[in-house]
Amino acid sequence: MAYEEAPLINWSTYAESRATLGSDFVRILGYFREDGIKSVDAIEAAMRDSSAAGLVLPAHTLKSEALQFGAEQLGLLSEQIEMTARHCVEIHETPDELLQDIVGLRELFRVSLAALEKEANPLVERRTFGRRPPMAGAAMGAQRTFGRS
């Protein structure tokens, strides 16, 4: 499947990951943000240097982490970059054919991460259910008066 045909986010995979990681989910999503930025930077630098070998590891890392969170388009594009770069290494060619894919990689990473982070926001989760949790108002009122006599 071409990466453009895949959903931006596979929400089933996202939900499974969130359930598996539990309370560590938001922290690990933060690591994905940090690692993803580094990977995209490294991929762009390798492309500027025409280094197929330099593309392989950051594309592999980005692919693995993106797919873990359900960022399907990003994962598939990263896999395409990784596999094409590996082929270029094997046949001793420069990765010129990847230029267009790499040009769009940063924006796809940004859009994918924004969707993941929006869904991870606890305020978004409350809105998804369409109502306040029971006792939310009472608990918030209790917090405002805590410590007062």
Domain boundaries of the chain, sorted by first residue: 3-145
Query: pLDDT of 37-68, one tens digit each?
Result: 999 999 999 999 999 999 999 999 999 999 99
pTM of the model: 0.80
The answer on pLDDT for 77 being more than 70 is: yes
Helix axes 11-21, 99-120, angle to 10 degrees: 60
Which one-letter DSSP state was computed for residue 132? P
Q: What is the CATH number of domain 3-145?
A: 1.20.120
Sign of CA dihedral 46, 50, 53, 56: positive
